[in-house]
Amino acid sequence: MMNGKDNNWILVVDDDIELAQLVSGFLETNGYKTKVEHNGLKALQTIITEQPALVVLDVMLPDMDGLSVCRQARHGYPGLEGNYDGPILMLTALDNDIDEVAGLETGADDYLAKPVRSRVLLARVRALLRRNPHEVPPLPSTETQASEPVEDQAVIKFDDLVIDKKYQSAVQNGKVVDLTTAEFELLALLASNPGVICDREFISAHFHKLGYESSNRTIDLRVSRIRKKLGDENHPSTRIRTIHGKGYLFVGDR
């Protein structure tokens, strides 16, 4: 269940009326209040003026497509005051990675290709609603050996970076790093294998288990966004190194 704020509901935006009702009904069965909108421009107005807890947004919409809705919600729209910084989960029926890349670049937090599996949708919704970049969750007092982190560790610690898988939180120099769900999963995967080259096939296989369809382009884009949020945009990067022709290598304590 979501908390008791006035925006305690999820907006489902899809021009397929039957599908929108199915998604809405499924979410309500699992304890979430919902509203449904079928028109892009009307959805944008609702997002900015009513500030839902989360938006499930289809790419193909009448009047204004989902990518434009996402972009305008993030950066503002003429005649509407403010913008939206809550989580946006985008849906598309198109079977290629161009829409995923475009969606992530316009400000979406996560992405699912249709047909959407209900359990995967629920998992993504729960993860996005749990994420709170302004609050640092409590960490266990026991120390984790930085030199030998393993994949199933709940907390991974390095010199200036703490990654908590249970709370899906990354803290750098005492400040929370505002990562999307997919970005956190990728960072946690790389950090669980410090000093090991993770090729794109390995990364894609990991994301496939989580219900993602990840291409090389989306992996590269997410790495680029993680680097930016970690302040690791130097060439070469000092935290997540590109090993040309092979993949990515996470550097632990530097």
155 torsion bin: left (phi>0), alpha (psi -120 to 50), beta (else)? beta
Domain ranges in the chain are 10-130, 155-250
The alpha-carbon radius of gyration of the chain (Å, integer) is 19
- The chain-wide mean pLDDT, for the chain, equals 82
pLDDT of residue 144: 32
Given the candidates 3.30.420.40, 3.40.1190.20, 1.10.10.10, 3.40.50.150, the CATH classification of the domain at 155-250 is: 1.10.10.10
- Whose tokens are 């632990």? That residue is 252
- The confidence band for 238, taking pLDDT boundaries of 50, 70 and 90, is confident
pLDDT at 75 over 80: yes
pLDDT at 147 over 70: no
Residue 209 sits at φ, ψ, to 5 deg, of -65, -25
Query: 5-14, 97-106, 182-191: which has the minimum mean pLDDT?
Result: 97-106
pLDDT of residue 99: 61
**Helix or strand holding residue 36 (H, E):** strand 34-37
Considering the entire predicted model, what is its pTM?
0.61
Q: Could you tell me whether strands 169-172 and 161-164 are parallel, antiparallel, or unpaired per DSSP bridges?
A: antiparallel
Give the residue with greater pLDDT, 123 vs 57. 57
pLDDT of residue 214: 73
pLDDT for 168-223, tens place per residue?
Answer: 789 999 998 988 778 888 999 999 999 999 999 999 888 877 767 678 888 888 89
**DSSP helix, strand, coil percent of the chain (3-state; round to 5):** 35, 20, 45
Residue 139 neighbours by CB under 8 Å, 6+ apart:
155, 162, 164
d(CA 159, CA 152): 20
pLDDT at 34 over 60: yes
Mean of the pLDDT values across residues 45-69?
A: 93
- The confidence band for 139, taking pLDDT boundaries of 50, 70 and 90, is very low
**Angle value at C-alpha 95, between 92 and 97, nearest 5 degrees:** 85
pLDDT of residue 150: 41
pLDDT at 133 over 80: no
pLDDT of residue 146: 30
Give the residue with greater pLDDT, 44 vs 166. 44
Mean of the pLDDT values across residues 41-70?
A: 94
pLDDT at 148 over 70: no
Give the residue with greater pLDDT, 252 vs 192. 192
d(CA 103, CA 107): 7
CATH classification code of 10-130: 3.40.50.2300
